[in-house]
């Protein structure tokens, strides 16, 4: 029942209902939406979201541990408690292997009365190479990852990543940059550059993220724009009206133009719908007589995202899906452009967790790649959580099992490749160590391997296991050196 006033740039601290004012709220931390949502009287707002522009009074419905943000953190903790399955094999093995060898040595002495043979078996059968086969490979793999900006939180995680069959991506800030950008300027009856500059002048006093994208695009093209509107009036939820050189103009959505008697003809409406179907947010510009043009704005797809999807499929990832809180049209457009197998749109954090469970049941080991607080429950619930560090939040990075320290998403392909190489290396070491151990035991029992020669072979096998693992430190170096040579 408390009344909370929130101003531009401030974070909303409660879940509640807007009772006064209006604002554009960045809900990326909760829903993953890249474009701020217009909130008016009667609309619900969530804790952890940030006001980009405007101001609102909120009647608090939920506070403290009951808020959406707190529930997300609670879900993360619960999901983390459910984890812990792998890398128990060696512990179990050693628990039974050592007593078995002792018993075998005792039985051998009782049957043969040969003390030297029994002691030789006891010494030679020590599983030195087998015991270090996994940890030495994992240490080398983790060291290589750290050197290349990929933080892998332990051996269990390394093994899990090597077995992943499905990768689920969040969209905003992961496959995209999380920053709205002007993609197209369409003019009707005037010059495109004139339209862009006029719109940038009109948006001078606006704090809306889409306005900032337009101004940025104009200044990139024309340099600093010193001209300002003579008058400017923000129309909440619709756009703005401004006066420049004695003439009034409108910038905003369809409703703003309709309310001012501006007609959008069939061809213009067809163009706008076409842009929206491609995941664009379309800003309309007009004077008080006719529409002058449309500016398409969307979150920019990361440059290396398409290449990444191709690389992942080559590495044996069976299915790549996208889970996002964004609208269906934007999700469909990006999914098609990147070649993603499936997409699920308009998902809340708990719904992402549900989708991940479906994928795990259907396809097997599943990894989630994300960057925001809204991804945290999904990162924790997946078999493997991967956070994009450069653009990520503290919560996502704490929750994730693997962290890409920079925002270069292409390093995910490197991390998957490294993990698979590490798992192969571990298997090579284990198979080699078992064959050597079995051969030595057979040799001792057959009286063709003695204590000195057996110890030599045993120590050499340990050394070979270490050398094989050290090869992982060079993983990726050839490709890296080749790239540097090409640049030079």
Is residue 23 a part of any domain in this protein?
yes
Stated as kind and residue range, the H or E segment containing 402 is: strand 402-404
pLDDT < 70 stretches in the chain: 28-34, 71-88, 90-91, 237, 326-327, 372-374, 389-398, 405-406, 477-488
Q: What is the CATH number of the domain that holds 362?
A: 3.40.50.1000
The span from the CA of 455 to the CA of 469, in Å, is 21
Listed residue (330, 327, 46, 321) closest to 164, CA to CA = 321
Q: What is the pLDDT of residue 86?
A: 35
Stated as kind and residue range, the H or E segment containing 480 is: helix 477-487
Is residue 67 a part of any domain in this protein?
no
Q: What is the pLDDT of residue 470?
A: 92
β-strand partners of 53? 24
Listed residue (213, 208, 251) closest to 229, CA to CA = 251
- CB neighbour list of residue 69: distance below 8 Å, 6 or more residues apart: 29, 30, 46, 47, 48, 373
Angle at 186 between CA 184 and CA 192, to 5 degrees: 100
Q: Count Cβ neighbours within 10 Å for each residue of 66-87 and write b for 16 or more, e otherwise.
A: ebbbbbbbebbeebbeebeeeb
Is residue 318 a part of any domain in this protein?
yes
Which of 252, 269, 300 is the last residue in one of the domains? 300
The span from the CA of 405 to the CA of 465, in Å, is 30
Eight-class DSSP state of 11: B
Strand 166-170 and strand 319-323: the pairing is parallel
β-strand partners of 366? 166
Residue 446, number of CB atoms within 10 A of its CB: 8
Instruction: State the residue range of the domain holding 427.
Output: 72-141+416-485
In this structure, are 350 and 458 located in the same domain? no
Which of 267, 300, 333 is the last residue in one of the domains? 300
Annotated catalytic residue within 15, 170, 299, 401: 170
pLDDT in tens, 100-116: 878 888 887 888 877 88
The span from the CA of 22 to the CA of 55, in Å, is 6
The structural domain count of the chain equals: 4
- CB neighbour list of residue 71: distance below 8 Å, 6 or more residues apart: none
N residues, the chain = 488
Could you give the maximum distance between any two Cα atoms of the chain, in Å? 113
**SS3 at position 126:** coil
Asked if 377 contacts 349 with a C-beta cutoff of 8 angstroms, the reply is yes
* Helices marked H in 223-327: 254-259, 266-277, 305-314
Q: What is the pLDDT of residue 258?
A: 92
Q: Report residue 338 as tokens.
A: 């990147």
Strand 166-170 and strand 366-370: the pairing is parallel
In this structure, are 384 and 475 located in the same domain? no
Q: Report residue 113 as tokens.
A: 């009365």
Is residue 214 a part of any domain in this protein?
yes
In this structure, are 45 and 99 located in the same domain? no
Is residue 316 a part of any domain in this protein?
yes
In this structure, are 406 and 393 located in the same domain? yes
Listed residue (291, 290, 292, 271) closest to 282, CA to CA = 271
Asked if 296 contacts 281 with a C-beta cutoff of 8 angstroms, the reply is yes
Q: What is the pLDDT of residue 133?
A: 82
In this structure, are 447 and 462 located in the same domain? yes
Residue 170: active-site member? yes
Q: What is the pLDDT of residue 304?
A: 85
Q: What is the pLDDT of residue 279?
A: 76
User: Angle, to 10 degrees, between the axis of helix 411-445 and the axis of helix 155-163?
Assistant: 100
Q: Count Cβ neighbours within 10 Å for each residue of 354-376 and write b for 16 or more, e otherwise.
A: ebbeebbeeeebbbbbbbbbbbb
The span from the CA of 137 to the CA of 235, in Å, is 62
Stated as kind and residue range, the H or E segment containing 39 is: strand 37-39
Q: Count Cβ neighbours within 10 Å for each residue of 156-191 and write b for 16 or more, e otherwise.
A: bbbbbbbebbbbbbbbbbbbbbbebebbebbbbeee
Is residue 348 a part of any domain in this protein?
yes
In this structure, are 326 and 410 located in the same domain? yes
Q: What is the pLDDT of residue 392?
A: 41
Query: Distance of alpha carbon 100 from its chain centroid, rounded?
Result: 47
Residue 62, number of CB atoms within 10 A of its CB: 16
In this structure, are 296 and 186 located in the same domain? yes
Which of 362, 391, 414 is the last residue in one of the domains? 414
In this structure, are 172 and 306 located in the same domain? yes
pTM of the model: 0.64
Asked if 186 contacts 266 with a C-beta cutoff of 8 angstroms, the reply is no
The span from the CA of 460 to the CA of 455, in Å, is 8
Listed residue (332, 331, 329, 337) closest to 309, CA to CA = 337
In this structure, are 272 and 327 located in the same domain? no
**SS3 at position 7:** coil
Q: Exposed, middle or buried by CB within 10 Å (0-12, 13-18, 19+), for 104? A: middle
Residue found under tokens 């939040």:
393
């Amino acid at each position: 029942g408390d009344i909370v006033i929130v101003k531009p740039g401030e974070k909303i601290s409660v879940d509640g209902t807007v009772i006064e004012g209006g604002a554009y709220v960045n809900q990326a931390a909760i829903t993953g939406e890249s474009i701020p949502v217009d909130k008016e009287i009667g609309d619900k707002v969530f804790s952890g979201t940030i006001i980009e522009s405007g101001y609102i009074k909120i009647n608090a419905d939920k506070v403290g541990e009951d808020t959406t943000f707190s529930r997300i953190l609670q879900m993360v903790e619960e999901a983390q408690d459910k984890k812990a399955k792998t890398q128990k094999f060696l512990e179990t093995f050693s628990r039974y292997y050592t007593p078995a060898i002792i018993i075998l040595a005792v039985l051998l002495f009782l049957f043969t009365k040969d003390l030297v043979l029994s002691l030789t078996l006891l010494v030679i059968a020590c599983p030195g190479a087998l015991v270090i086969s996994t940890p030495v490979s994992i240490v080398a793999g983790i060291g290589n990852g750290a050197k290349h900006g990929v933080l892998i939180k332990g051996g269990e995680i390394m093994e899990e990543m090597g077995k992943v069959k499905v990768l689920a991506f969040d969209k905003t800030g992961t496959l995209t940059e999380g920053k709205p950008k002007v993609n197209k300027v369409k003019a009707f009856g005037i010059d495109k550059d004139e339209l862009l500059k006029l719109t940038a002048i009109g948006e001078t006093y606006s704090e809306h993220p889409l306005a900032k994208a337009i101004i940025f695009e104009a200044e990139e093209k024309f340099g600093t724009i010193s001209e300002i509107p003579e008058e400017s009036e923000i129309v909440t939820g619709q756009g703005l009206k401004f006066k420049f050189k004695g003439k009034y103009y409108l910038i905003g959505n369809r409703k703003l133009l309709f309310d001012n008697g501006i007609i959008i003809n069939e061809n213009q409406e067809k163009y706008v719908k076409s842009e929206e179907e491609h995941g664009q947010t379309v800003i309309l510009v007009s004077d008080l007589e006719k529409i002058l043009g449309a500016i398409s704005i969307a979150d920019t797809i990361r440059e290396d995202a398409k290449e990444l999807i191709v690389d992942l499929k080559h590495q044996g990832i069976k299915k790549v899906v996208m889970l996002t809180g964004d609208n269906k049209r934007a999700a469909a457009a990006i999914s098609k452009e990147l070649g993603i197998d499936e997409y699920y749109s308009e998902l809340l954090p708990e719904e992402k967790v549900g989708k991940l469970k479906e994928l795990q049941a259907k396809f097997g080991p599943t990894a989630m790649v994300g960057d925001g607080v809204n991804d945290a429950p999904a990162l924790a619930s997946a078999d493997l959580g991967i956070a994009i560090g450069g653009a990520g939040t503290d919560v996502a990075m704490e929750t994730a099992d693997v962290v890409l320290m920079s925002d270069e998403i292409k390093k995910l392909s490197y991390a998957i490749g490294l993990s698979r190489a590490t798992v192969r290396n571990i298997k090579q070491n284990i198979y080699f160590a078992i064959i050597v151990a079995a051969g030595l035991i057979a040799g001792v029992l057959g009286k063709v391997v003695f204590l000195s020669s057996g110890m030599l072979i045993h120590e050499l096998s340990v050394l070979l296991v270490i050398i094989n693992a050290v090869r992982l430190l060079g993983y990726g170096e050839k490709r890296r050196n080749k790239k540097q040579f090409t640049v030079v």
